[in-house]
Amino acid sequence: MVNENLVKDVVKEPYKYGFVTDIETEKIEKGLNEDIIKLISQKKEEPKFLLDFRLKAFKKWQKMKEPDWAALGYKKIDYQDIIYYSAPKQKEKISSLDEVDPKLLETFDKLGIPLTEQKKLTNVAVDAVFDSVSIATTFREELAEHGVIFCSISEAVKNHADLIEKYLGTVVPASDNYFAALNSAVFSDGSFVYIPKGVTCPMDLSSYFRINSGDSGQFERTLIIAEESSSVSYLEGCTAPMFDTNTLHAAVVELIALDDASIKYSTVQNWYAGDEEGIGGIFNFVTKRGKCLGKRSKISWSQVETGSAITWKYPSCLLLGEESVGEFYSVALTNNLQQADTGTKMIHIGPKTKSTIVSKGISAGNSKNSYRGLVKMGTKATGSRNYSQCDSMLIGDQASANTFPYIKSQQPNSEIEHEASTCRISEDQLFYLQSRGIDFEEAVSMMVSGFCRDVFNQLPMEFAAEADKLLALKLEGSVG
Amino acid sequence: MEIIEKIKNNKSDDNLTEIQKICFHKLQSNPLPNPKSELWRLSNKSKLSTFLDYSVNEKDSKFDIPYPKNSQSTIRLIIGENCQIKLIEKDYSIQQLSEDELQKYIKEQISFFKQNENWSDLLNLYLSCKNNILGLIINGSKIPPIEIFSHASSNSLNAKTLVIFLEKNCDIELLQVNLGKENSSLSQSTFFCLKENSSVNHGVVSYGENRSNLLNSLNVIQQKNSSYNLGSLHFKFNYARFEINIKQSAGNAKTNIKGMQITKKDEQISTYTKIEFNGPNGFLDQINKSLADDKSHAIFEGSIIVPKIAQRTDASQLSRNLLLSNLAQIDTKPQLEIIADDVKCKHGATISQLNEEELFYMRTRGITLTEASKLQLSSYFQEIISFIPISKDKWDLLDKLLNEN
């Protein structure tokens, strides 16, 4: 028998991004009402259409009920006890990185995201979001040469209002769900990417989200538009300090791919997950959706979810264009008292559309890990195909793994295949590895990494290595 | 919906039995299932209300079994007609459950029932009068095959209940046939209690005529080392719901389920299964097939629940679906809820149409398209039909299914 305690010891690595940056911040008062929304809009000097968009969303949100269908249990969120805008105080306008508060730069340095161009990450442009605002975006000039727009959404609202007005809320409408409506009403910042026709983005783009204060929520919004025959790979990373209160994170991500365009969106989510007793941690309610509008367009989601006390996240693809392709590759790891209800939706609307879902869930400790997915073939989706595979691995006898795939077909000339399995770390394999001189912890992490290989193969280079390491760290002490 | 109005307005008849009263009260606060709940959200509301529109018929007109007897030894029973059953032979005995035992058992079951989850059973037990409840206790060995019939007469709603206790080391073959006449509603609840080391090959064949409706629910409790095999077939109903609840009360039991539903025209047939393992070493092998044609709708939802105590459970579930028309639809949702770590659980689901390559192959060998699709369908059906015990060949179920295509 594998030693239970040994395995438990494998997941106990402390959260190393849990520090707080002591920095003067500008916060508005707690609570949510029309005046607060007007205040946020005013602070960001937004055009009228956006304020109207926010107010309309707020009205809808007020009429909506918080969803309770997910297999999650958490204490009720008091939406009036949250600060909806918090920004580090800095000089009025930043013209170059030199003017950014060194403390902020230091924070991102500590997180392994250097923003100063001398130390720049090789060939990755970064947009760093701290609480409610974007601090800096690197490599802008170089990207501009190719016509690529990569900036914070607040800047885009000022400089590219036409694009924002045209696309914002077209993939995730304000009334889509409770958390999307909340985000639409109060979103403070996020990233905006526009890839013009025929351009292959010369480098990977990346956003780094950092929650710093304990009482403010983060509500960012990302919008990526890939014009005809363009392509882009986008990475997203998240961390937060350790607080014993729960912080709300409700983001919306919208992707639009036109004819022959391709968007690859990768996430490594490592929000603070709370301690072993389940105190503190981020409540992560995210709506991510991509629209394959054009013919032969492609949207690929890959995610590694290791953090958050609560994860509620279903990156989806609306496959409208003929022969468009949707992909979803996910690894979700839960430990201690974490709860994750995550999966995807593949809505096949256009003919000859294809989608692939590969989901790997690992639950350890007392955690709960659910896969919830929808595959739908509409009446016009002739010749469409879907393949889904969701595997769960259970570590310890207290963790639970659930699978809820919803499959619906209205098109006889289409094919759907779904398979799911649940297993544990095989003792034979462990024994074999140990008999070859590999120590227990390494053997476990090798096996977990092997279990997730299908997904890791889809991650961009920089992330794949990080994800592997992250998983090994998170699992330290938990396998038994 | 006269029945629902009655419950809502607290108009109970004076001559209700105790069980009927309990169910009546349980339904009172919410006489209808919650249409937004997972179990009922896909159910066609107008069809359900048609089901409830017929007035309750407690006395049936004479019923002639439409099928020839397979062999002389087969025991045939009709729920609602057989008043006294007492078969005591050298090797076995089949007797009616005493009034007290029956009441006690049903009451115990009801105490676990939830308004929404067990709505069909609660309604059934509220509507079933004493005559329409058949309780049997079966003991011994070398028991001849048993056939039990349940039917609804035209223009009425009939509610029938069957309770079977299978004693230790007992081994039976049982075929349950539910027949719906034109414009009728049949509510059938079956309770099965399998004692240690017992084994059942259970067949459920439900088939209706024009615009008949069915609510069929099956509750099985399996004790240690029991084995339960179910082959089921539902077809030709305007609206039918088959709910299966199986509980392996102490694990160490075997369950095999092979079910099929066929929908045509604008029919809706759904199967909901919930299998719970309350002990270690449980085994489940389940396959559910659906075929949807014309404008019909076939639904399958299966959940497997493996709590912490159910270590070394081996469960697999497969949902295979054929969608044959542009206007038909299929919903399927196999689900796993697992807490125990030393388990082997898997499920799979596919939706497609007939295999074109196979059709092409047969046509190159001179077989017409109609014949070729019939051949394919017959192999699709055969896997399930061959699993239904007794009478399966004599009735020519396969021919019936194929020729109606």
Among the partner-chain residues A377, A396, A412, the one whose CB lies closest to the CB of B341 is A396
Q: Cβ contacts (< 8 Å) between A385 and chain B: which residues?
A: none
Is A377 within 8 Å of chain B by CB? Answer: yes
Which of A382, A402, A403, A425 is the best mutation test for B, with the most CBs of B within 10 A? A403
Taking CA–CA distances from B352, the nearest residue in chain A reads: A415
Among the partner-chain residues A412, A415, A424, the one whose CB lies closest to the CB of B324 is A412
Q: For A33-53, give the DSSP string.
A: SHHHHHHHHHHTT--HHHHHH
Is A117 within 8 Å of chain B by CB? Answer: no
Taking CA–CA distances from A426, the nearest residue in chain B reads: B342
* pLDDT higher than threshold 70 for residue A108: no
Is A423 within 8 Å of chain B by CB? Answer: yes
Distance in angstroms (rounded) separating the CA atoms of residues A199 and A335: 42
Distance in angstroms (rounded) separating the CA atoms of residues B95 and B137: 5
Distance in angstroms (rounded) separating the CA atoms of residues A421 and A419: 7
End-to-end CA gap in chain B:
34
- In this predicted model, which residue has the larger pLDDT, B203 or A120? B203
**Radius of gyration (C-alpha) of chain B in whole angstroms:** 21
pLDDT tens column, B87-128: 888 889 999 998 899 999 999 999 999 999 999 999 999 998
* pLDDT higher than threshold 50 for residue A2: no
pLDDT tens column, B243-280: 999 999 998 999 999 999 999 999 999 999 999 999 99
Chain centroid, CA B165 distance in Å:
17
For residue A4, give how far its alpha carbon lies from the nearest alpha carbon of chain B (Å): 12
Mean pLDDT, chain A, as a whole number?
A: 84
Among the partner-chain residues A394, A404, A417, the one whose CB lies closest to the CB of B333 is A404
Tokens of A451: 């279990």
Q: Name the pLDDT band for A14 (thresholds 50, 70, 90).
A: low
For range A190-215, the mean pLDDT = 85
pLDDT tens column, A31-49: 889 999 999 898 888 899 9
Tokens of A41: 């809009």
Q: For B182-248, give the DSSP string.
A: TT-EEEEEEEEEE-TT-EEEEEEEEEE-TT-EEEEEEEEEE-TT-EEEEEEEEES-SEEEEEEEEEE
Number of H helices, E strands in chain B: 8, 19
Q: Exposed (0-12), middle (13-18) or buried (19+): which is B46, by Cβ within 10 Å?
A: exposed
For residue A358, give how far its alpha carbon lies from the nearest alpha carbon of chain B (Å): 14
For range A262-275, the mean pLDDT = 87
Amino acid, res. A448: V
Q: Find residue A29's DSSP bridge partners.
A: none
Contact criterion met (CB below 8 Å) for A343 and A332: no
Which residues, in sequence order, are CB contacts of A102 under 8 Å at separation 6+? none
Residue B349 and residue A407: Cβ atoms within 8 Å? yes
Please give the pLDDT value at position A183.
93
Q: Cβ contacts (< 8 Å) between A355 and chain B: which residues?
A: none
The region of weakest confidence among A187-191, A418-422, A433-437, B363-367 is A187-191
For residue A441, give how far its alpha carbon lies from the nearest alpha carbon of chain B (Å): 19
Among the partner-chain residues A409, A419, A420, the one whose CB lies closest to the CB of B323 is A409
Which of B303, B314, B317, B351 is the best mutation test for A, with the most CBs of A within 10 A? B351
Is A406 within 8 Å of chain B by CB? Answer: yes
Phi, psi for residue B94 in degrees, rounded to 5: -125, 115
Which of B341, B345, B354 is the best mutation test for A, with the most CBs of A within 10 A? B341
Please give the pLDDT value at position A195.
94
Q: Name the pLDDT band for A3 (thresholds 50, 70, 90).
A: very low
Q: Cβ contacts (< 8 Å) between A404 and chain B: which residues?
A: 333, 335
* B6, B162, B172 from B55: Cα distances, Å: 12, 21, 36
Q: For B4-44, give the DSSP string.
A: HHHHHTT---TT--HHHHHHHHHHHS-SS--TTSTTTTTS-
Amino acid, res. A125: A
The region of weakest confidence among A362-371, B79-88, B165-174 is B79-88
Q: For B113-146, give the DSSP string.
A: --TTTTHHHHHHHHH--GGGEEEEEEEESSPPPE
Residue A412 and residue B353: Cβ atoms within 8 Å? yes
- In this predicted model, which residue has the larger pLDDT, A9 or A356? A356
pLDDT tens column, A418-436: 999 988 888 888 899 999 9
Model-level pTM? 0.87
The b-or-e profile of B350-369 (16+ CB within 10 A means b, else e) is bbbbeeeeebeebeeeeeee
Please give the pLDDT value at position A432.
92
Tokens of A255: 């992707």
Please give the pLDDT value at position A100.
65
For residue B171, give how far its alpha carbon lies from the nearest alpha carbon of chain A (Å): 33
Please give the pLDDT value at position A118.
45
Residue B311 and residue A397: Cβ atoms within 8 Å? yes
Among the partner-chain residues A405, A412, A423, the one whose CB lies closest to the CB of B333 is A405
- In this predicted model, which residue has the larger pLDDT, B402 or A230? A230
Residue B350 and residue A417: Cβ atoms within 8 Å? yes
Residue A405 and residue B339: Cβ atoms within 8 Å? no
For range B230-254, the mean pLDDT = 94
Residue A394 and residue B326: Cβ atoms within 8 Å? no
Contact criterion met (CB below 8 Å) for A183 and A158: no
- In this predicted model, which residue has the larger pLDDT, B202 or A17? B202
Q: For A173-233, give the DSSP string.
A: -TTSSHHHHHHHHH--B-EEEEE-TTPBPSSEEEEEEE---SSB-B-BEEEEEE-TT-EEE
pLDDT tens column, A116-144: 554 454 556 677 777 666 666 777 778 88
**pLDDT above 90 as % of chain A:** 44
Mean pLDDT, chain B, as a whole number?
A: 90
Residue A422 and residue B326: Cβ atoms within 8 Å? no
Contact criterion met (CB below 8 Å) for A334 and A362: yes
* A11, A238, A395, A476, B248 from A15: Cα distances, Å: 11, 13, 20, 12, 42
pLDDT tens column, A65-80: 998 888 888 888 889 8
Is B34 within 8 Å of chain A by CB? Answer: no
Distance in angstroms (rounded) separating the CA atoms of residues B37 and A108: 46
Which residues, in sequence order, are CB contacts of A469 under 8 Å at separation 6+? none
Taking CA–CA distances from A379, the nearest residue in chain B reads: B326
How many A×B Cβ pairs under 8 Å?
107
pLDDT tens column, A148-169: 998 888 889 989 999 999 999 9
Q: Which of B 236-255 lie inside 8 A of A, CB atoms?
A: none
Q: Cβ contacts (< 8 Å) between B347 and chain A: which residues?
A: 403, 418-420
Q: How many residues does chain A have?
A: 480
For residue A15, give how far its alpha carbon lies from the nearest alpha carbon of chain B (Å): 26
Is A115 within 8 Å of chain B by CB? Answer: no
Is A390 within 8 Å of chain B by CB? Answer: no
* A155, A415, B70, B135 from B166: Cα distances, Å: 74, 43, 23, 11
Taking CA–CA distances from B348, the nearest residue in chain A reads: A419
Please give the pLDDT value at position A6.
43
Residue A407 and residue B328: Cβ atoms within 8 Å? no
- Which of A373, A375, A377, A370 lies closest to A405 in space, CA to CA? A373
Q: Cβ contacts (< 8 Å) between B349 and chain A: which residues?
A: 405, 407, 416-419
Is A72 within 8 Å of chain B by CB? Answer: no
Among the partner-chain residues A394, A407, A416, the one whose CB lies closest to the CB of B338 is A394
Residue B338 and residue A421: Cβ atoms within 8 Å? no
Is A366 within 8 Å of chain B by CB? Answer: no
Q: Among A139-148, A440-449, B292-301, which range has the highest average pLDDT?
A: B292-301
* pLDDT higher than threshold 80 for residue A90: no
Q: What stretch of H or E contains B379?
A: helix B369-385
Please give the pLDDT value at position B391.
58
Is A374 within 8 Å of chain B by CB? Answer: no
Please give the pLDDT value at position B206.
92
- Which of A89, A115, A129 lies closest to A219 in space, CA to CA? A129
Q: Name the pLDDT band for A414 (thresholds 50, 70, 90).
A: very high
For residue B316, give how far its alpha carbon lies from the nearest alpha carbon of chain A (Å): 9
* pLDDT higher than threshold 60 for residue A5: no
Q: Cβ contacts (< 8 Å) between A412 and chain B: which residues?
A: 323-326, 328, 353
- Rounded to 5 degrees, what angle do the CA atoms B308, A341, A131 make? 130
Chain centroid, CA B246 distance in Å:
11
* pLDDT higher than threshold 50 for residue A7: no
The b-or-e profile of B104-137 (16+ CB within 10 A means b, else e) is ebbeebbeebebebbbbbbbbbbbbbeebbbbbb
Q: Name the pLDDT band for A50 (thresholds 50, 70, 90).
A: very high
For range A408-422, the mean pLDDT = 93
Q: Name the pLDDT band for B212 (thresholds 50, 70, 90).
A: very high
